[in-house]
């Protein structure tokens, strides 16, 4: 059963994810994705997907947001909102990447084509990646 509740800042996260999505570098797939992370200190850090001619080097929006946040000195996260056309469940690689910072993370699945202010579905990362590989 899904008991996760939307964080208070969900509309801010949705707005940020949709905004950064417009800056996606996606000339190959033409599929733009935005992500907005809510840090423990209440800041919102954004990331978009960055594709590459070699395809395999492409970085998803979720990982891009985490790298951006870590580079700014943040290391504790409460929620992430992904925004794309469809259901914004993060890919398997991003689930593992996010899990590094804890399975309690709330994952907001924003369909960018829904009107702004439409509450996204929310799930805990642990639900998306049960029995994750960990070293710590
Ligand atoms: N993509 C993301 O940014 N996040 C996901 O969770 C799934 C996929 C990107 C990668 C690629 O640039 C494009 O979407 C199509 O797969």
CA of 92 to the centre of ligand 1 (A): 11
Q: What is the pTM of this model?
A: 0.97
CA of 35 to the centre of ligand 1 (A): 11
* Residue nearest ligand 1's atom 14 by CA: 31
- 14 band by pLDDT with thresholds 50, 70 and 90: very high
- 21 band by pLDDT with thresholds 50, 70 and 90: very high
Return d(Cα 136, Cα 75) in angstroms, integer. Answer: 15
Question: Nearest 5°: phi and psi at 37?
Answer: -100, 140
- Four-residue CA torsion sign, 95, 129, 122, 86: positive
Q: Where are the alpha helices (DSSP H) in 22-108?
A: 61-71, 92-99
The average pLDDT across 22-45 equals 98
- pLDDT tens-digit map of 64-102: 999 999 999 999 999 999 999 999 999 999 999 999 999
């Amino acid at each position: 059963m899904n008991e996760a509740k939307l964080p208070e800042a969900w509309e801010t996260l949705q707005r940020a994810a949709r905004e950064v999505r417009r800056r996606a570098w996606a000339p190959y797939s033409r599929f733009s994705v935005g992500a907005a992370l809510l840090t423990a200190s209440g800041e919102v850090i954004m990331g978009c997907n960055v594709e590459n001619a070699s395809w395999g080097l492409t970085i998803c929006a979720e990982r891009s947001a985490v790298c951006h946040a870590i580079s700014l000195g943040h290391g504790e996260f409460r929620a992430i909102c992904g925004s794309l056309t469809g259901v914004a469940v993060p890919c398997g690689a991003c689930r593992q990447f996010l899990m590094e910072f804890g399975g309690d993370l709330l994952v907001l699945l924003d369909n960018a084509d829904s009107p702004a202010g439409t509450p996204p579905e929310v799930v805990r990362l642990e639900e998306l990646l049960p029995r994750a590989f960990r070293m710590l």
